[in-house]
């Protein structure tokens, strides 16, 4: 009887050690002090076996078998998704597997400032490693790449990236704005083209509304728009044939809701201030005062 008790005790002790080792292997990170994260890529068609093996080979987990045991026990083996993940050996198996099962892929943050044109957007996306230079230029439309902060995954195609820009644009330009544009007998393209001129010329929303009022008034009376940011407006009447940049929401709202005034002219002083004038004589005086430094 004593012998059997000892044997059972020994078996229990061994199983306890195995259980502790499994628990530690699963719930304790390989290196809790590791502060370095790396991009771990999972290809389409990979199962738990391939994923686990590569995690171990890249030093992210202690043992590939423990990873497979855990995802099988949790019932998430079939949920593991292809993509690029930002992982560290300071993460344990539950944390890593949950990130992969939820598709929480590594994303690159890209900020597009208001007033960037397509060439600038294309260059910024290429510098971020998301596209080859020129790929967005080939498919995107100037003026409709809404300036904002975006998060893109590494595997997105140029078409998918462009769609994210367009979806954001359509979200910002809501039905109320579109109805107002239609009520004014203008097209969205005309509004965006006007907003692009405003974006490149003045800074504040107040100045943008006043400038919009001036430009729409010039347009209605057949004057040259004479916008420095678009030299063609000194040579040809009317709006340019396309937007000159991608305007932000303030410029778009100014184009839709311009402020009427007695002003017909404006200029941008070196300090960024916008000087408005009612007459050509007043405008010429301001040019001498603010731009030619004459008292």
pLDDT at 27: 77
As a whole number, mean pLDDT of residues 58-74 equals: 94
Worst-scoring range by mean pLDDT, 9-13, 86-90, 251-255? 9-13
- Residue 80 CB neighbour total at 10 angstroms: 20
pLDDT at 22: 52
Per-domain residue ranges of the chain: 25-101, 107-172, 175-261
As a whole number, mean pLDDT of residues 223-240 equals: 96
User: For the chain, give me the number of helices (H) and strands (E)?
Assistant: 12, 6
Question: Is a pLDDT exceeding 60 seen at residue 275?
Answer: yes
pLDDT at 294: 55
Task: List the Cα angle 39/42/32 in 5-degree steps.
Answer: 45
pLDDT band at 291 (very low <50, low <70, confident <90, very high): confident
Cα–Cα distance, 217 to 139 (Å, whole number): 34
pLDDT at 8: 45
Residue carrying the six token digits 């083996």: 77
Question: Is a pLDDT exceeding 60 seen at residue 183?
Answer: yes
Q: Let me know: does 215 contact 264? Beta carbons within 8 Å.
A: no
Question: Is a pLDDT exceeding 90 seen at residue 4?
Answer: no
Cα–Cα distance, 171 to 179 (Å, whole number): 14
CA dihedral 173, 174, 176, 181 (to 10 degrees): 30
pLDDT band at 295 (very low <50, low <70, confident <90, very high): low
103-120 pLDDT tens trace:
999 999 999 999 999 999
Query: Higher model confidence: residue 1 or residue 265?
Result: 265
pLDDT at 20: 42
Residue carrying the six token digits 């109320």: 176
Q: Supply the DSSP symbol for 218.
A: H
Worst-scoring range by mean pLDDT, 12-16, 19-23, 261-265? 12-16
pTM equals 0.82
- Residue 259 CB neighbour total at 10 angstroms: 15
Cα–Cα distance, 132 to 128 (Å, whole number): 10
pLDDT band at 13 (very low <50, low <70, confident <90, very high): very low
75-106 pLDDT tens trace:
999 999 999 999 999 999 999 999 999 999 99
pLDDT at 3: 54
pLDDT at 24: 61
As a whole number, mean pLDDT of residues 16-30 equals: 61
pLDDT at 35: 85
Task: List the Cα angle 259/261/264 in 5-degree steps.
Answer: 110
CA 269: distance to chain centroid? Answer: 32
What is residue 199's three-state secondary structure?
A: helix
Percent of the chain with pLDDT over 90: 83
What is residue 79's three-state secondary structure?
A: helix
CA 45: distance to chain centroid? Answer: 29
pLDDT at 1: 59
What is residue 187's three-state secondary structure?
A: coil
> What's the topology of domain 25-101?
Dna Ligase; domain 1 (3.30.1490)
What is residue 234's three-state secondary structure?
A: helix
Question: Is a pLDDT exceeding 70 seen at residue 15?
Answer: no
How is residue 125 written in tokens?
């996306």
Contacts of 165 (CB under 8 A, 6+ apart): 140, 144, 145, 146, 150
As a whole number, mean pLDDT of residues 212-239 equals: 96
Cα–Cα distance, 266 to 286 (Å, whole number): 9
pLDDT band at 16 (very low <50, low <70, confident <90, very high): very low
């Amino acid at each position: 009887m004593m012998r059997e008790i000892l044997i059972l005790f020994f078996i229990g002790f061994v199983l306890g050690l195995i259980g502790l080792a499994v628990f530690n292997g699963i719930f304790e990170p390989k290196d809790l002090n590791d502060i370095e994260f790396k991009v771990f890529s999972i290809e389409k068609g990979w199962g738990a076996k391939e994923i686990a093996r590569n995690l171990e080979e890249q030093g992210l987990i202690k043992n590939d078998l423990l990873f497979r045991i855990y995802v099988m026990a949790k019932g998430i083996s079939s949920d593991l998704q292809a993509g690029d993940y930002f992982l560290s050996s300071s993460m344990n198996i539950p944390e890593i597997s949950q990130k992969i099962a939820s598709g929480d892929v590594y994303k690159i943050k890209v900020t597009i400032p208001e007033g960037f044109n397509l060439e600038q957007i294309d260059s910024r996306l290429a510098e971020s490693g998301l596209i080859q230079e020129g790929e967005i230029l080939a498919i995107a439309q100037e003026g409709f790449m809404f300036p904002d902060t975006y998060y893109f995954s590494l595997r997105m195609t140029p078409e998918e990236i462009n769609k994210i820009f367009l979806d954001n644009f359509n979200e910002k330009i809501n039905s109320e704005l579109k109805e107002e544009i239609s009520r004014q007998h203008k097209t969205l393209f005309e509004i965006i083209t006007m907003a692009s001129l405003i974006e490149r010329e003045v800074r504040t929303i107040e100045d943008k509304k006043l400038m919009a009022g001036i430009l729409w008034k010039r347009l209605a009376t057949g004057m040259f728009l004479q916008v420095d940011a678009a030299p063609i407006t000194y040579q040809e009447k009317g709006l340019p044939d396309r937007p000159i940049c991608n305007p932000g929401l303030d410029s778009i709202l100014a184009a839709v809701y311009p402020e009427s005034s007695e002003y017909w002219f404006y200029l941008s002083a070196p300090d960024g201030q916008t000087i408005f004038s009612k007459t050509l004589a007043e405008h010429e005086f301001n040019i001498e005062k603010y731009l030619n430094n004459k008292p």
